[in-house]
Amino acid sequence: MRHEIRIGWRYLYGGKRDRLMQLLALGGLIVMAIGILTLLASDGANPVGVLTLVLSMIAASAFFLFSVFSVFTSVSVLGVVFGVAALTVVLAVTTGFQKEFRDKVLGVNAHVIVLKSQDSFGEYREVMKIAHDLDRDILAVQPFIFRELLVTRGKGELSGAAIKGIDPTLASGVLDLDKHMIAPDRVDSLLTPPCPAAAGDRPAASGPDRPKCLAWPPIILGKGLAHKLKAKVGDVVTLVMPLSSFDLATWRSSPPQTRRFTVTGIFYSGFDEYDRRLMYASLADTQELVGAGDQVLGIELKVKDVERAADIARRLAKALVNPQYQVQDWYELNQNLFTALKVQKVVLVVILTLIIIVAAVNMVSALTMMVTDKTREIAILKSMGASSSSVALVFQVVGLVIGLAGTIVGVLIGLGTCYVVGRYGYHLDPRVYLIDRLPVEVRPLEVLLVAGITMAISVISTLAPSRSAASLRPVDGLRYD
């Protein structure tokens, strides 16, 4: 085995070391160091540093390969490098999108919800007790109301929105809304009571002796919605329930139900759909606004392990018995979104794997040319007693070294690119991508998957050239000598 490796390395080696390529590789390393220092000085927010670092990594790797290997070998290795690096980066980005969307969805939504097919859901307290007692992994339960409506501020600002009524004392146990609050930093602002003087839609007293209470019930707005309404903490907004009292018999409606609220908080989830449309108010205030009495739309649960949410949802559905209850987990509620992300990831992996396959075809060509070029040496080896399997192993070693070198360098470049792009935080248009930053999430298992796929393709690529070399007869290689 040792002499096969030595012969294979001699075939890979480009002869004497190229001083120019070594100097260029050293220059690439120096530029890479400058890029790293630029990023550290700017805390990763310098696009020039990002571009410099990524390009210098590629240049330094290419010049290093040309200084060590022959031209044919270096080109073959570079093909594998680019394929592996591209696949590593794309997997990290698509995984980042999946994780970011999941975190955003779970940040302002529960893990499991229970709805009822009928309009009335007044027995929600009994359902909450059943849910509490079902599993020790259920951390918290709360009732909620969700309605579409209009919100206005002043005379010109108007927007369609959705209000979610939650229990302020239970919300922090079910939702991670506290993590997304930017003014103030907790959902406790919903607990601030309205002043007694505010009853009957009359403003509370103002001035230095004003009590620590609000003129109107408190409400929390998404950052995008607050920006559209030009509202800030302390401003008053008016919520309008369209067709709140519509009589189907006479086809007449009373004036829409309206109520004023004081903005006591603004949240920013980073998920544009929520930030532009969603508002939170206390359950009691929302019930009064929509005229629901002691009714809710459903209850929502937070579980210890989100991966168990589907199992807990199934068990809760069985415990409730009544088919009128609909129990859904977070993935089922957002199935279209996460299915689209999964399909996109699979398609991108397949497409980028084709780059590695193209590099493997290039490797086959290089090995085939090498077999043709080394015909005389192969004949001499066989005439000296080398077996066909030994000759085949020489070219398998060559192919594996090409694949291994390309995989290692490609993974390093891919991980380096992921790191600098993640630190830079590339800005995205939230109206298009729903999130405002390019997410990058590197998972070791996926990196190992890329390396495994590449090495498997490299092994397969060596079969035809090594078989061709093994089948060569000594007399064919020495016929014209």
- From the centroid of its chain, how far is CA 69? 38
pLDDT higher than 60, residue 127: yes
Residues 224 and 313 in one domain: yes
Looking at every residue in the chain, the average pLDDT score rounds to: 82
Q: Which residue has the higher pLDDT, 470 or 212?
A: 470
Whether residue 160 is contained in a domain is answered as yes
User: Looking at the structure, do residues 228 and 259 belong to the same domain, yes or no?
Assistant: yes
My answer on whether 69 and 163 are in the same domain is no
Same domain, 199 and 308: yes
Q: What is the pLDDT of residue 475?
A: 66
| Cα–Cα distance measured from residue 447 to residue 414, given in angstroms and rounded to the nearest whole number | 9
Q: What is the pLDDT of residue 234?
A: 87
Q: Note the pLDDT tens digit of each residue in 189-225.
A: 677 667 765 544 444 444 444 346 777 899 999 999 9
Query: Are residues 316 and 359 part of one domain?
Result: no
pLDDT at residue 43 tops 50 = yes
Pairing between β-strand 257-267 and β-strand 218-222 as defined by DSSP bridges: parallel
Least-confidence region, from 135-144, 232-241, 359-368: 359-368
User: What residue type is 182 in one-letter code?
Assistant: I
What is the C-alpha R_g of the chain? 33
Shared domain check, 122 and 74? no
217 within domain boundaries: yes
Question: Do residues 313 and 352 both lie within one domain?
Answer: no
Q: Name the domain boundary from 275, 293, 323.
A: 323
Element (H, E) at 139: strand 138-153
Tokens of 197: 């003087």
pLDDT for residue 448 is more than 90:
yes
Nearest Cα residue to 352 out of 96, 90, 76, 78: 90
pLDDT at residue 291 above 90?
no
Residue 255 sits in the same domain as residue 357: no
pLDDT at residue 44, as a whole number: 56
* Residue whose pair of structure tokens reads 């670092």 in the numeric block: 53
Please give the C-alpha separations between residue 110 and each of 69, 93, 212, 370, 431, in angstroms, as whole numbers: 56, 25, 32, 61, 24
Distance between start and end Cα atoms, the chain: 29
Residue 15 lies in a domain: yes
Query: What's the CA gap between 398 and 314, in Å, rounded?
Result: 55
- Checking if the pLDDT of 98 tops 90, the result is no
Contacts of 85 (CB under 8 A, 6+ apart): 410, 411, 413, 414, 417
User: If pLDDT is split at 50, 70 and 90, which confidence band does 120 have?
Assistant: confident
Domain ranges, residue 447: 2-105+338-478
Q: Which amino acid is at 48?
A: V
Q: What is the DSSP string of 412-437?
A: HHHHHHHHHHHHHT-B--HHHHSSSB
pLDDT-above-70 percentage for the chain: 86
- Identify whether 328 is part of a domain: no
Angle between the N-to-C axes of helices 463-470 and 388-424, in degrees from 0 to 180, rounded to the nearest 10:
160
H-only helix segments in 109-162 = 124-134
Which of residues 42 and 232 earns the better pLDDT score? 232
Using a pLDDT cut of 90, give the percent of the chain over it. 19
Per the structure, the count of domains in the chain is 2
Q: What phi and psi values does residue 246 have, to the nearest 5 degrees?
A: -105, 125
- Tell me, yes or no, whether 184 and 287 share the same domain: yes
**Which has the minimum average pLDDT: 228-242, 309-323, 369-383?**
369-383
pLDDT at 209: 40
- What pLDDT digit, counting tens, does each position of 229-281 carry? 999 888 999 998 876 555 555 666 666 788 899 999 999 887 888 889 999 99
Same domain, 429 and 460: yes
> What pLDDT sits at residue 279?
93
Nearest to 353, CA basis, from 80, 87, 85: 87
Q: Is residue 293 part of a domain?
A: yes
pLDDT of residue 196: 65
pLDDT tens string 148-182: 999 999 877 888 999 999 988 888 888 888 888 88
Neighbours of 357 (CB within 10 A): 15
Q: Are residues 375 and 262 in the same domain?
A: no
Residue 16 confidence (pLDDT): 58
Neighbour-count burial of 412, counting CB atoms closer than 10 A to its CB (0-12 exposed, 13-18 middle, 19+ buried): middle
With cut-offs at 50, 70 and 90, classify the pLDDT of residue 463: confident
In a domain, 234, yes or no: yes
- Whether residues 164 and 297 fall in one domain: yes
Q: pLDDT digits over 328-337, tens only?
A: 988 888 888 7
Q: Is residue 110 part of a domain?
A: no
Q: Tell me if 332 is assigned to some domain.
A: no
| Domain limit, last residue, from 323, 348, 377 | 323
Q: Average the pLDDT over 406-432 and give the result.
A: 83
